[in-house]
Amino acid sequence: MPATIDPGIIAKIEDLRKTLHHHNYRYYVLDDPEISDSEYDRLMQELIRLETTYPDLVSPDSPSARVGAPPLAKFDQIAHTLPMLSLDNGFADEDILEFDKRVQRYLNLQSEILYTAEPKMDGVAVELVYEDGKLLAASTRGDGVTGELITANVKTIGAVPILMRADRSSVVPPLLEVRGEVYIGIEAFKNWNAERMDQDLPPFANPRNAAAGSLRQLDSKITASRPLEIFFYGVGVVEDFVFESHWKLLQALKKWGFRINPLIRPRISIKDVLKCHRELSEQRHQLPYDIDGMVVKVDSLALQQQLGATTRSPRWAIAYKFQAIQETTVLEKIEIQVGRTGVLTPVAHLKPVNVAGVTVSRATLHNEDEIEKKDVRIGDTVLVQRAGDVIPEVVKVILSKRTGAEKKFSMPDRCPVCRTAVARIEGEAATRCINSSCSAQVKERIKHFASKGAFDIDGMGAKLVDQLVEKGLLTSFADLFKLDKETLAGLERMGDKSGENLIHAIEASKKISFARFLYALGIRHAGEHVAVLLADQFESLEDLASCSQQDLTDIDGVGPVVAESIANYFQQEKNLGTIQSILDSGAQIVFEAKRKTAKLDGKTFVLTGTLDGMTRRQAKDMITAAGGKVSGSVSRNTDFVVAGDSPGSKLKRAKDLGLAVIDEAGLLEMLGG
């Protein structure tokens, strides 16, 4: 028998859970938080602490359930009460007008039909089942009839209500099956993929694959670490509730705590549907997530019912797709690129093709296994795809176009640049050049060192680095600081003025934050994020260098592989020598104020316009070093908008929302001068 628990503790836990559920709703559904992220984290930590101390009080409905559950051996299957159908597709205005006619004919109606138009999220469909307001199960679409049970994974998504909201004004149904699309935002996808590449993990081709992969993890703690989001757009069974229209249903879902896309346009004529589609297709590249079209739905649920469905798709809805971002073209050759850590990446050279307005002539083939899996051969006609700013990739081979003249590709035995024998480590997808002095690796390491997130040397572009290495003027990044005007003057396309500017830029880069310095070193597995974690912990290079692998693993967010790589790096004399020579050439590391004194803790900033005394990057660094966050777009979550010269539409939006607008001087003042 457990010892009796103090009722005060029970009340405290209940209160914390209620408070956290409430703030979740304010943040995700209303996009209007009442407390800062750090305040929220503190409340969550307090709850987790109490639940750990009193395990008898642990509940599956607790907001703490988001951190993940014990791993599964496999996913169970679950049948959907109502099948999860697909949608018919339309690609031009005529297809949509024809759809409208079809609906009218079927209903034998002459009067205008009203539609609701929604962005078609390019993610993964899921169904969530709530009984008496409690999340009971979540599943994938599967084949539409049966899906996989992924409840623990879906629970980790912040915007998924673990309990539906019920108050005086909203009673919840005894059973609700709600459907939505899980996705990953573009910015989060890019950052995460960059981290993966830093860790020599294969990047995901696009946010949708990344979302699907994240949802299919048997260990929900892994899912919890992925930046998944969700919008809800429909229902299966809803007991005891009858709604008049799809729009009213969405409003009820919102009230119950489900996140609904704010861009949904309710009850519009078919003419306005077409207009809306044009607007959305223009707006699409500014959206923080991928959409692949618009879903047009008959708004009246009575009419939806009359229209019914075929075995494949409902008659009351159609997906109006955007222009394809996939095209076919011919793969002319495969070239090998050697990266900073020696990884050999096969790159497809394509017959140039226009993909949604951009000419694509190169696409990544990732690695040897991918080429084999897709059976890509030289001369093949292939489907290529680009999504946002992501590197284009070869999706598949069009086998029907094969003539038999295509040639198989195999990875070379030797590095194409330095001719050293390559190695492929058991269990890794990557083939590597193991010669760390290989000129391709040297070039890439220097480019990384000078890149925006590292020393940020303005003017030190890829071509210039190539030239300097080829001429023997640079053999390691430490040599960058030894360059002088005379040496630069002898280079192609280098005038006096640009040489001078470059020397200035090198000089200016020497003062650098600890996080950027660590990132610049290019330690394997230590990307920008890990560098920030380390810089937060250590006040000197010596402290970090003397750490064991175990010490490093103790840092939250640093796993054993990363820790081993870092400890290993600092054990090698050669690396210590390189660091010493960077410091000897005058590099000055600024050890960041520790988070404990963070002045801007939990505050979100948006920068707009040109700043006078600092670059945006510098402003961003200063804000993050002081515990603040910098976001790319203005929303109600923004605390301060920093406006420089010629600010853009962000300033207008900030004013419309009544947000605090400060100038550069105001920012410096907040940072303590």
Q: Are 95 and 320 in contact (CB under 8 A)?
A: yes
CB of 180 vs ligand IVH, minimal distance in Å: 8
Q: Which is nearer to ligand IVH, 86 or 571 (CB)?
A: 86
When asked if residue 319 is in the footprint of ligand IVH (CB under 6 A), the reply is yes
Nearest distance from residue 28's CB to ligand IVH, in Å? 17
**Among residues 308 and 586, whose Cβ is nearest to ligand IVH?**
308
Q: How far is the CB of 175 from ligand IVH (least distance, A)?
A: 19
Size of the site for ligand IVH (CB under 6 A): 15
Q: How far is the CB of 267 from ligand IVH (least distance, A)?
A: 16
- Name, in order, each residue with C-beta under 8 angstroms of 591's C-beta and a sequence gap of 6 or more: 514, 535, 538, 539, 540
Q: What is the 3-state secondary structure (H, E, C) of 349-387?
A: EEEEEEECCEEEEEEECCCHHHHHHHCCCECCEEEEECC
Shortest distance, position 114 Cβ to ligand IVH, whole Å: 17
Stretches 81-89, 360-368, 422-430, 651-659: which one binds ligand IVH (CB under 6 A)? 81-89
Name which position in 233, 322, 455, 517 contacts ligand IVH (CB under 6 A).
233
- Piece of 4-12, 84-92, 244-252, 408-416 that binds ligand IVH (CB under 6 A): 84-92
Nearest distance, CB of residue 84 and ligand IVH, angstroms: 6
Does 276 interact with ligand IVH (rule: CB under 6 A)?
A: no
User: Do the strands 511-513 and 134-140 form a parallel or antiparallel pair, or are they unpaired?
Assistant: unpaired
Q: Which window, 80-88, 367-375, 412-420, 520-528, contacts ligand IVH (CB under 6 A)? A: 80-88
267 touches 325 (CB < 8 A):
no
Q: Which is nearer to ligand IVH, 99 or 570 (CB)?
A: 99
Nearer CB in complex with ligand IVH: 47/253? 253
85 versus 107: smaller Cβ distance to ligand IVH:
85
**What is the distance between the alpha carbons of residues 606 and 641, in angstroms, rounded to a whole number?**
5
Question: Binding of ligand IVH at residue 541 (CB under 6 A)?
Answer: no
Paired residues of 178 in beta bridges: 128, 235
CB 187 within 8 A of CB 632: yes
Cβ-based nearer residue to ligand IVH, 264 or 589: 264
Residue 358 CB: number of other CB atoms within 10 A? 11
Interatomic CA distance for residues 660 and 617, integer angstroms: 21
Could you write out the DSSP letters of every residue in 65-90? GGG--PPPSSPPEEE-SS-----EEE
CB of 388 to ligand IVH, least distance (A): 17
334's tokens: 């495969």
What is the x/- site pattern for ligand IVH, positions 511-540, by CB under 6 A? ------------------------------
Phi, psi of 427, rounded to the nearest 5 degrees: 85, -10
Identify any residues that bridge with 293 across adjacent strands, giving them in sequence order.
120, 321
Contact between 87 and ligand IVH (CB under 6 A)?
yes
Q: CB neighbours (10 Å) of residue 55?
A: 8
Report in angstroms how near the CB of residue 26 gets to ligand IVH at its nearest: 23
Question: Helices H, strands E: what count in the chain?
Answer: 24, 24
CA–CA separation, 547 vs 523, rounded Å? 15
Q: What residues between 115 and 174 interact with ligand IVH by CB under 6 A? A: 118, 120-121, 125, 141
Query: With binding defined as CB under 6 A, does residue 81 bind ligand IVH?
Result: no
The correct pick among 51, 181, 380, 664 for binding ligand IVH (CB under 6 A) is 181
Q: What is the DSSP string of 454-493?
A: TT--TT--HHHHHHHHHTTS-SSGGGGGG--HHHHHTSTT
Is the CB of 295 or the CB of 555 nearer to ligand IVH? 295
Q: Is 230 in the site for ligand IVH (CB under 6 A)?
A: no
Interface stretch with ligand IVH, choices 61-69, 114-122, 373-381, 451-459 (CB under 6 A): 114-122
234-273 residues near ligand IVH, rule: CB under 6 A: 234
- Cβ neighbours for 17, distance < 8 A, ≥ 6 positions apart: 47, 59, 61, 62, 63
Distance CA 642, CA 598 (A): 19
Q: Give me the least distance between CB of 229 and ligand IVH, in Å please.
A: 13
Q: Name the token pair of 439.
A: 């000129």
Near ligand IVH by CB under 6 A: residue from 96, 129, 295, 417 = 295
**Closer to ligand IVH at the Cβ: 60 or 308?**
308
- Give least dist CB 293 to ligand IVH, A: 9
Taking the C-alpha atoms of residue 243 and residue 311, their distance in angstroms, rounded to an integer, is 24
Site membership for ligand IVH, residue 314 (CB under 6 A): yes
**597 interacts with ligand IVH by CB under 6 A:** no
Question: Which residue number, 79 or 423, has a Cβ lying nearer to ligand IVH?
Answer: 79
Task: Find all residues with CB under 8 Å of 265, minimum gap 6, and list them.
Answer: 116, 117, 118, 272, 276
Q: Can residue 178 be called a binding residue for ligand IVH (CB under 6 A)?
A: no
Beta bridge partners of 125: 181
* Residue 408 among the catalytic residues: no
Task: Give SS3 for 411.
Answer: coil
Pick from 361, 290, 356: which is nearest to 324 by CA? Answer: 356
Among positions 357-416, residues that touch ligand IVH (CB under 6 A) are: none
Q: Give me the least distance between CB of 320 and ligand IVH, in Å please.
A: 11
CA dist 257 → 21, 137, 226, 277, 351 (Å): 9, 17, 22, 28, 50
Residue nearest to ligand IVH (CB): 125
- Of the candidates 12, 120, 190, 603, the residue annotated as catalytic is 120
Per CB under 6 A, 85 contacts ligand IVH: yes
Token pair belonging to 231: 């919008």
642 interacts with ligand IVH by CB under 6 A: no
User: Taking the complex as a whole, how short is the minimal distance between the CB of residue 32 and ligand IVH, in angstroms?
Assistant: 23
Q: Are 615 and 607 in contact (CB under 8 A)?
A: no
Does 582 bind ligand IVH (CB under 6 A)? Our answer is no
Q: Which is nearer to ligand IVH, 325 or 464 (CB)?
A: 325
Helix (H) or strand (E) holding 21: helix 7-24
Q: Would you say 176 or 460 has its CB closer to ligand IVH?
A: 176
Residue type, 666: G
Q: Which residue in the set 45, 52, 59, 86 belongs to the binding site for ligand IVH (CB under 6 A)?
A: 86
- Residue 494, φ and ψ in degrees, nearest 5: -130, 100
Q: In this structure, what token pair is assigned to residue 503?
A: 């020397």
Binding interface with ligand IVH (CB under 6 A): 85-87, 118, 120-121, 125, 141, 181, 233-234, 295, 314, 317, 319
Active site residues: 120
